[in-house]
């Protein structure tokens, strides 16, 4: 059995594929490419595929990771090209490599970088960028954070690597933030929720969220 990892992008229409749908899509694509997937033994046999940090439905990402096992002793030649030829619109394989070639354990994922876009069809409200900069420069930003045990009041700044960078682009405000991943995950949606909580005078639209990169505890790019 040969363990491999795929880095892939999930963008465009593909961002609406659910986690379960993504798993089925990946297995179907690999079957169409005749990739020699390893299957579990026993009564309910199935291919071993595992997505790290699944994106919420509607989110896009360019640093998504899929672990899988193969019967072969190496990654098939032209595997990336073969998969991209059968993937649905919005899914794109970037690279496939053996885990023995420096692959990090999934438990080491600690941070994610996101691009958060607030688009205003009628133009960016006066004062909003400055209000956002001031809010996210605070040492304490308390919000109610959901968990399996219910809601808890937390300081979201403790779950971020510094304050987010903010830029204006046409009719949009774009934040770039590094938030905690793994067991103490902070969804980028909380930045939008914090802005709505602390500055209700601004009518924030629905935001778009895009994962740009994933890091370990030392802020090394995860691979």
Q: Residue 110: how many CA atoms within 13 Å on its side-chain side?
A: 11
pLDDT in the model for residue 103: 79
Question: Each residue's pLDDT tens digit in the chain (223 positions)?
Answer: 788 999 999 999 999 999 999 999 999 999 898 888 887 776 776 778 889 999 999 999 999 999 999 888 888 889 999 999 999 999 999 999 988 866 789 899 999 999 999 999 999 999 999 999 999 999 999 999 987 778 899 999 999 999 999 999 999 999 999 999 988 899 999 999 999 999 999 999 889 999 999 999 999 999 8
Q: What was the pLDDT predicted at 79?
A: 92
* Structural domains of the chain in order of their starting residue, each with its CATH number: 2-103 (3.30.70.580), 107-216 (3.30.70.60)
User: H helices of 15-147, where?
Assistant: 19-32, 79-86, 128-136
Which residue, 14, 24, 64, 65, is CA-closest to 47? 24
- Give me the pLDDT at residue 203, please: 92
Report phi then psi at 80, rounded to 5: -65, -45
Tokens of 5: 């990892």
Instruction: Give the SS3 label for residue 208.
Output: strand
């Amino acid at each position: 059995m040969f363990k491999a990892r795929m880095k892939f992008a999930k963008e465009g229409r593909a961002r609406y594929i659910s986690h379960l749908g993504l798993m089925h899509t990946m297995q179907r694509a690999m079957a169409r490419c005749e990739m020699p997937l390893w299957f579990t033994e026993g009564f309910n046999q199935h291919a071993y595929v595992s997505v790290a940090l699944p994106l919420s439905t509607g989110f896009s990402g360019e640093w998504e990771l899929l672990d899988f096992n193969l019967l072969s002793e190496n990654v098939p030649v032209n595997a990336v090209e073969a998969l991209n030829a059968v993937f649905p619109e919005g899914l794109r394989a970037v690279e496939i490599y053996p885990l023995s070639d420096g692959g990090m354990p999934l438990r080491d994922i600690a941070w994610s970088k996101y691009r958060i876009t607030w688009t205003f069809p009628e133009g960016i409200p006066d004062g909003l960028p400055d209000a956002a900069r001031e809010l996210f420069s605070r040492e304490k930003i308390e919000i109610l954070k959901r968990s399996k045990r219910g809601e808890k009041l937390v300081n979201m700044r403790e779950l971020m690597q510094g304050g987010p960078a903010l830029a204006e682009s046409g009719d949009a405000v774009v934040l770039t933030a590094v938030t905690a991943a793994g067991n103490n995950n902070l969804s980028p949606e909380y930045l939008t929720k914090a802005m709505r909580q602390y500055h209700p005078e601004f009518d924030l639209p629905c935001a778009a969220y895009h994962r740009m990169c994933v890091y370990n505890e030392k802020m090394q790019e995860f691979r």
